[in-house]
Each structure stands twice: as structure tokens, then as C-alpha cells.
Structure 1
Amino acid sequence: MARLTMQRALEPNWINELFEQERGLQYTRQLLFSTTVELMSVVAVGLRPSLHAAAKACKDLPVSLQALYDKINGISPSLVRALVQGSATRLNEVLAPMLGGRAPMVPGYELRIVDGNHLPASEKRLKPLRGFRGAALQGQSLVVYDPDTDLVVDMLPCADGHAQERTMMQAVQQQAKPGQLWIADRNFSTRSIFCGWQERGSCFIVPEHGRTPSPLELDAMQLRGKIETGIVHEQAVSIENDQGKPIRLRRVELHLERPTEDGDTVIRLLTNLPAWEFTARSVARLYRCCWRIESLFQRLEAVLHSEVASLGHPRAALFAFGVAVMAYNVLAVLQSAVWVAHDLQDSDVELSSYCFADEIRTHYAGMVMAVIPIAWEPYDSMTAAQLAEVLLQIALHANPKSLRKHIRGPKPSAKKGYVSGAVARRHVATARVLKNGLVK
């Protein structure tokens, strides 16, 4: 299933045509862009620990290792974005026949969740960084996630690790259209961002920032009832667009029964959703249930090799992250196929991305050695619907119980507090502690 899905998402002819459209100053001489993507996908899935190891294992690499690194160091962010967008579109065509009967999370709307992701500090392999003692940031990305399909549908890479996420939002908003509902965190609570969604006919739910956009209050706060996490109030407010015309919004306040990790007791949401369709309580519940993109970033880091610290050049690191996002989308298609084939909609079984990735890492290399390449060629001519049917047939042989997620209970919160360095550096023998039942 993984091989067939990757074959559709990373089809070489399509990737090479995309490179010619978005290549910028780069060109193709001996090394095809599809070969570069294939090598990086091996690293992203975890079959090889690094790009160097993947290249050394490639028997027919037509260029030197230095030429390969020069190639990925020059890949433009626009090409990475087009790669993620195009592969998501191709996989969505396969998912559509599978999920035809699944109801969307928000009926009548395409849900989009957007958030920024900063890559961690890299190893200081670049010569200008070798004498620097601090952290060298590889860059960041704005990621747009569709929870209905579990696909990342857009990613805007930025090589500047210190750039403000708000400045990147305008390019992402070009993809907004009527009938969509966008959810973001308070970092995107600005007048220009709200007006951008409003002009394109999209709806939004965003927590209000403490200083911006400072909307004008149109009436008094009114009590709207109680939900699972607190008491809900609502108020009509407005902001002005670039032409000075007022835009009417709703401010939904959720007074929490328990403070958040940051100590907040009140969450203020700004939205342009119509009141006749969404009550204040439904808006508060919707934001609470749909804000799941943080767990997506955790899965990318834990399940896939999305953060390659050895790639010090920002463009190379962003390219690696983009390929990892495409690999995550492949896993999402496999999970949907097993979910639909075994009719898990009404069961309590929740599938684990980690288990799927572990199965692929365990068996993929052996399968590639055992199956000759020509055996995969008939699947290239299949339509998206035909491929979806094949995936569902294969998924019937999977065991959902071995791929399920095992959810742990909440960890007890314990404040460690400050101790001296001598206490922190102290060590004990675990065997003696278990024997005596206490730490001496």
C-alpha cells in the first residue's frame, strides 16, 4: 500500500515537469529532481539515517555527493511549496472515492487549520557558523492542515528563522476561497489578516490578541450558556478594512473552569461565522475540538524524520521538511484505507501513525528487493478511483488491532522546583533502590 501510494504522490514525470515550472535558477543536467525527492523520501520515512547514507546506498546515482548537496542547497522554497500542494492534490483524488460517505467535521464548510512550525537548530557544519556558540536556526514554515482528510494541503517555507509568521500569511491567504473555515492561533489576530479572509469570502475563528486588532464594541457582553469547559459569553464588535468600511464580527468569550497551561482563565475568540448557523457555544466547542495541528507537528517529528539537523543550509532543511510532510500525507491515505476497509467509524479503535511508519520501516526494504520494478508499472495507468479500490482491497488484509493507538492516561503534574548543582549531579544504583524501596 505504501509503495503504490508513494508511486502516485511522487510520480517521477510529474515531479520533473513541476521542477521545470518552478526551478528558478536551477537546471537539469544529469541529476533529475525526481531522484533527489526519492532519496530524501527514504530519509523522511526513516529507511536511511541521513541523505549521505541514502546516496551511498543508491547504486545508480549519476553525480557526486557534493553535486547532490549543491542541488538540494539551491532548491527554492516556491518549488517545495508546489511539491507539497501538488502531491496533496494527487492524493486527495485517491481519498475522495474512499471518504465519499464520511461527513465533514463542520457541515457545509471546508475546514483549514493554519499554524507556523520552526525547525530546530542545526549542526554547525557551514563554515560561517563554526565559531558561533549559539543556535543556528534552519527556517520555518506555515502549514495548512485539512482535518477532514488528515492531509497537509499547503506549506509555505521561509528560510529566515526570525521572520514574523504574520508577514507570511498573505501568501497563504491567496488559497482561501468561499465556503472555507480557517482556524488559527492568536498570533494571526490582526486586522489585515481578518480583512483578507473576509474579502475572499472565507470564515475564520481566531483567538483575540491582547493588543490587536482592538475591535470596536457594538453592544454589551451577553451570557450564552455553559459548555464542558466553562461559561460562554458573546458580544458584537467591528473592525475597519483598508477602505475604512466597518466589518461586523462576533467576540465569543469562554470563561474557563480550569486555567490553561499558560495561566489564562478567559479565551476570547473573534469570528465572522453567521449567528443563525453557529451559536456562541458551538463556536467555542468548534475551536476547542478542531485545534489539532500541534499534534500534527508532534507526529511529524516523532513518526517521521522531518528535522534533519545535519542539513545546515536552510533551503536543504526546508526541502527535507517538505518531503516529510508528503510522507505524512502518504501515511494518512493508508490510515484512511484501513479505517474504511474495516468500517471503524463506529468503533473505538484509533489508528496510530507511528505503527504504520514502523511497519513500513520494517518490511519496505525487503519488499523492494523481492519484487522486480516492472511489477509496479501496471499501476501507473490506473485512475484515482481504481487505485483507491486496490488500496481498499489490500487494506482488508491488515490487522487494525496491531495498528491501533494505545492512549496513556494523564501524567500527574509534579513541580520539581530548584535544587543545588550537587544534588542534581548525584547518582544512584537503580538495583539498590529497588531492593531497599527508597533512595538514600
Structure 2
Amino acid sequence: MSQLPPQFPWQRAATGANLLSPDGSLGVTIFEEMTTLALSTGAINLGQGFPDEDGPVEIKEAAQAAIAAGANQYAPGKGILPLREAIAVHQERFYGLAPDPRTEIIVTTGATEAIAASLLALVGPGDEVLTFEPFYDSYGAIIGLAGATHVTAPLLAPDFMPDMTAFEAAISSRTKAVLINNPHNPTGAVFPRAVLQRVVDLAARHDAVIITDEVYEHLTFGEPHIPVATLPGAAGRTVTISSAGKTFSFTGWKIGWLSGPEHLVAAIRTVKQFLSYSSGTPFQSAIAVGLALPDEFYTGISETLKRKRDILSDGLRAAGLDVFTPQGTYFVNVDTAPLGISDSVDLARRLPELVGVAAIPVPVFCHAEGAERTRSLLRFAFCKKTEVLEEAAARLATLRDRL
């Protein structure tokens, strides 16, 4: 079944990441293509953003203990209470927020399900959803599935701060939800308080819900993470989403969560029960243990990632690329224009053979106009072992000579 009707909702919303051919047939995603190229050439895969080593041993042991103790059947649809309580304590500990674990928190199958359930519950045909651009690739597809219209406002290099004039022009009475990813994938930007407060004020003016994707909340480098829900005027209209995958390096467990006002959470829970219903029970117990880890763990992961960021960035600069230093996440973006290359999609397809490293072109995170604006940008992931990044940096340093 390679053919889909052109009116299929997610197909209408598909971005370059979906690589649909002109006749509407379904191709593989760029992520799958880059992974295949990396495997076939023996390249180091810095395209997909997942770590190559596990997180804390005490979390793994907690999962093993839960399995051995028989926690292997369905969890409650909104998640086991100990994890919901741990999430509430985490929000209070780091941000001073106090969601009720019984009515204002849901455990989800990763942050992706939390985003999907939120959009499917809160928007529909005739509504608009406003995001920054570039945007995480699932946003466009889920907005399309909901039957809503995806509107964007650009993030501008080199710091990838939003064009707030464009954002203000893009929001309107048709905007039902503003979806904000902060820290931001794929750019690595961490938005300051003034930017976030302006988003809140505009959302309030137009009576829009705010959905925040904060999965990289603990992966910032010298910049504080500010949850939107902590800002004046935000709490009553904001759904906050995060997950265990990025913080604890257990992306395969797919344990995420969301919190927010009871009426919004109840609506989202109604949709979530018809998606996955329930997520890995023993993993939920283990993540509750992880959320209680001491402050040294949380500061340590950002310090380690910052060193890895700098190792990879040095190799990218040696290659002659213009490096945009990220303030958060585990992605670094570069401009290929200094090498005389304007098509990052073409270069991404050549990189594994040229230097033995795979990356993702930033235009696939954009609609057509944004893709043109970012057409010379590439994204590399640095959530890998130090020795792997050192080897990747050495390979990338030879790029200019190999072109």
C-alpha cells in the first residue's frame, strides 16, 4: 500500500521529512534514509537523536525489580500514582509548580503521544495551530490528523530567536493552540523569559491554549529553562509536556507525561485512552525513581553534554562549516554555505560516503518557505559516547578536502 489518497489528512500536512513523491506516493522519511545510508557505509550516525549508552543504573535496576515483582500488566490509563506523584514533586522541586497528581497529570507513551493526544483533543477543522519554524517533524502530521491548519513563524539564525513581528502577525482569532518547543529541536535555541511572556500575552489576547513541549528541559548550557506555565497569565491555559527519554537516556522506554489545568487534562485523557491507553508499567515505576535523583545528576548531564557539544563543534568548524552554538538540547546546526554548498539535503545524502558521518538537513523540519530559508543548514546530534564524537569530529575535519 504505497498509494494514499491526496486528501489523507497527515499527507496534506506532510513536510519534507516525509519525502512524498510528486505523485503522492509514500516514501521513507529522511531519518530512515540517513540511518540506512549510515549502516550501508559504516558511517557514524549523528542524524537521529538518541543516545548510544544507557542512563543511570539505579533506574535500570528499578525497572528490573518491578518486572520481577510482577508489575507487568496494564497500568491505569492516566499512569501509576507513584509516577504521577513523582512528576508533581519534580515540578515543585525545579519550578515551583504544584499540579495535582490525581487530576492534573497524565503519563503517556512518550512525549509524542502527549502532543498527539493534546492536539487531537483541543483542535479540529477550521482551527489553526501556531508553531515556530523549523519545527519537530511530528507537529505537522498530527495537526493534519486533527484537521487543523498549521501556521508558522520563523526562527532566525544565528541564534534562532523568533521573529516576534511575524509571530504576532500569524496569531489570530482562528488560532486555537500555540505549540511551543523549548528548548528547541532542531535548532538548540533556549527562549528567554521576554520571548515566552510575549507568547503568553498574545495567546491570552486571542484565547488560545498553549501546549509546551519541554522534553529537553534539563539539557541546557548556562541558560535557565523557564516553563511557560510559570509565567503570569499562563497557568490556566497551558499544557506542559515532558518525558524520560531525553533526561535519562532511555528513549526506548517511551515514558512521557503532561500536566495542566484539570479541564484540559480531562479532555486530553479522553483522547489518550483510545491511543495507547496505557504505557509500560515497570518502566513507570523506574522513572519515578529517576525523577528523585539528586541535583548532582541533573547538573552532571548538562555539563557532560556541553563537553560533547564542544568536541563535535570543533570538528565541524575545522570542516569549514559555520557552526551555530546551541544553548540547549543535544543538536548542533551548521551552515554549509561557507563551503559553497547551498543544498543541505544533497550534502546529507553524500556525507556518509564522503566522510563517514550522517546528519539531517534542517529543511525537512519546515514548510516550503521555511525550507528555502534553511536550505543550507544541517543538524548533527551529539548525544553519543565521547570517543564516537571524537572520531566523528576527526572525519568531519576532512570534509573540505574531500568535496
After TM superposition, is the score higher than 0.5? no
Give the structure with higher Rg (CA). Answer: 1
